[in-house]
Every structure is written in C-alpha cells, then in structure tokens.
Amino acid sequence: MDEILKFTIHCVLESGKIQRKYFGKKIGIRHKGTIDLVTDVDLACQERIISLIKDNFPDDEIISEEKKNYFGGDKKRWIVDPLDGTTNYAHGYPFFCTSIAYEENGFITLGVVYNPIFKELFYAKKKEGAYLNKKRIFVSKIDNLKQALLSTGFPYDLPTSKRNNIENFISFIYEAQAIRRDGSAALNMCYLACGRFDGFWELKLKPWDMAAGSIIVEEAGGIITDFKGNKFDIYKDEIVASNGLIHKDMLHVLQKNKSNWSEQ
C-alpha cells in the first residue's frame, strides 16, 4: 500500500479512537449558527490529525472544517473533515465519520473515510480502485430511477434561503424508490460507492464534505457532476453522484427546478 495512503488511514483511525471514547458521553457543544454545531470532539480530532500531518508532511497545506482556511496556491494539500456528522454525534446517532483527502496539482489523488462505530474503512487511490475494509467495492447496477435508493442533505441556511434543496427533495420523492437523509455527505458517497445507495445529490457543501468521498465514488465506477452535468469541482457547491446508469435521469429532475439557480 502507498505510504501516503497508509499514513492517511492511520490519521482516520486515530480520529476514530477519540470519537469512540467520547461517543454517548457528555461533551462540550457550541453553535456556529442556529443549527450548525461544533463539539469538543470535532476539535480534538482535528488537533490530532493536523498534528500528525505537520509532523510528517510539514510543507503541505491543510484545510479543515474547524479552522481558518486559505484555498490559493498549488502546494500539495490535505483536506480534512475531522467529524462529518457532528449533529448525529452530539445526539448519539452512530452515523458519522472522519474524512481525509489528498490533493496534488489540483487533483484529488486519494481519499479515506472511517466510521469508528461500524468499523467501516473506505478508501481509494487514483487509478487503483475503491475498497471497504480491504475488499474491492463497486457501484450498483440499478438502471431505473424508480428502483433507485437516493440520499441527500440540506444546507444550514434552509429556513432563510430559497436555494435549500426542498424542491429537489420533493421532486425525487415522486421519481425515485426512496430517499434517505442521514447527515453525513462523506458516508453517503461511500454508501453509493459500495452499492447501498444508487445516487446522491446535495448543494452548498464544502471541499472537506466531498473530497474524499468523490474519489471513492469515481474509483468504484460512479459518475460525479454538478447539477448541469458539468465537470465536478470540490471548490464549488453542487454535487450529483450516481452509479452512472441513472445519472441523466437525476440531472433531468434537478434541471427542472428553478430554485437551484436563483442565488447563483
């Protein structure tokens, strides 16, 4: 296994130890917004990961959810979400993870996502496939949107913004078999990569929400674009991911909804 991939796996496992230690216990919780939380566990995981990266790759840039970030430059870059699914964690709902990606020359070259409660380790390296606990994974073969299980999420400004994904959600309720909304974009993409979900879409996400999951989906045979079918970019805020077979149908549903473009 590639040394950088081994190191990234070590980082998520270290973060997972912290998450397991405090899961279900009383922890410090603060509000970044009305419904946007940060916990002491987020910060502890971030501190541990950043410390490991700085010790081993001192010249690399790091962007992470709970710190000030600068997105310029063309250095090698670590993209970290120390605890994706903070609200779930704070409520004792075991759907959360650590997500870390590595970017080189503007391209994501590897991604690792770990849920410490289910002990599921997803990872992928460019052109080397995607894996769950050392077993190769692939997207599903569902080719009919009516038979597809989809997943999504909603932005934190849902009450105040018209571009809030509600119209899309309602449309897909009628077009797909079912939809799940469980609070971790990184895990949603990993579930798509291993065939549990057939499609995923969301808006107003950040690079750390999407980076690791995106390469895992692509290496599992999936497709990712923006809502218009254009090339996916982790530094923009739209994502449509699928097994490829239902992608055009998902785009058709999204492109019918004018609310997607109202604030762009």
Is residue 73 predicted with pLDDT exceeding 80? no
Asked which of 136, 157, 189 is the last residue of a domain, the reply is 136
Q: Clarify whether residues 193 and 217 are in a common domain.
A: yes
Record the tokens describing residue 83, joined without a space: 């605890």
% of the chain exceeding 70 in pLDDT = 95
- Is 68 or 97 the better-scoring residue by pLDDT? 97
The per-residue pLDDT for 264 is 47
Q: Is the full-model pTM beyond 0.75?
A: yes
Is residue 263 predicted with pLDDT exceeding 60? no
Q: Clarify whether residues 128 and 14 are in a common domain.
A: yes
- What tens digit of pLDDT does each residue of 101-127 get? 999 999 999 999 999 999 999 999 999
Our CA angle for 158, 95, 166, nearest 5°, is: 20
Q: Clarify whether residues 152 and 132 are in a common domain.
A: no
Is residue 49 predicted with pLDDT exceeding 60? yes
Q: Count how many domains the chain has.
A: 2
Asked which of 136, 162, 193 is the last residue of a domain, the reply is 136
- Please count the other Cβ atoms lying within 10 Å of the Cβ belonging to residue 53: 21
Record the tokens describing residue 159, joined without a space: 């009450």
Q: Clarify whether residues 125 and 149 are in a common domain.
A: no
Q: Clarify whether residues 82 and 46 are in a common domain.
A: yes
- Strand 61-64 to strand 37-39: parallel, antiparallel, or no bridges (unpaired)? unpaired
Q: Clarify whether residues 89 and 128 are in a common domain.
A: yes
The per-residue pLDDT for 258 is 73
- CATH number reported for the structural domain that contains residue 221 in this entry: 3.40.190.80
CA distance 48 to 50: 6
Cα separations (Å) of 89 from 29, 75, 193, 202? 11, 33, 23, 21
- Average pLDDT of the chain is 93
- Please count the other Cβ atoms lying within 10 Å of the Cβ belonging to residue 211: 28
CA distance 112 to 145: 28
Q: Of 84, 47, 40, which is closest to residue 67 (Cα–Cα)? A: 47
Asked which of 136, 157, 178 is the last residue of a domain, the reply is 136
The per-residue pLDDT for 32 is 67
CA distance 248 to 252: 6
CA distance 70 to 62: 9
Q: Clarify whether residues 15 and 127 are in a common domain.
A: yes
The per-residue pLDDT for 71 is 67
Q: Clarify whether residues 202 and 122 are in a common domain.
A: no
Is residue 51 predicted with pLDDT exceeding 60? yes
Segment 84-95 mean pLDDT: 94
Q: Which domain holds residue 224?
A: 145-260
% of the chain exceeding 90 in pLDDT = 81
Residue position matching structure tokens 């380790």:
121
Instruction: Report how far Cα 115 is from the mean position of its chain's Cα atoms.
Output: 12
Q: Clarify whether residues 91 and 187 are in a common domain.
A: no
Q: Clarify whether residues 10 and 115 are in a common domain.
A: yes
Q: What is the DSSP letter of 2?
A: -
- CATH number reported for the structural domain that contains residue 90 in this entry: 3.30.540.10
The per-residue pLDDT for 20 is 97
Q: Clarify whether residues 232 and 164 are in a common domain.
A: yes
Is residue 217 predicted with pLDDT exceeding 90? yes
Beta bridge partner(s), residue 37: 31
Q: Clarify whether residues 187 and 94 are in a common domain.
A: no
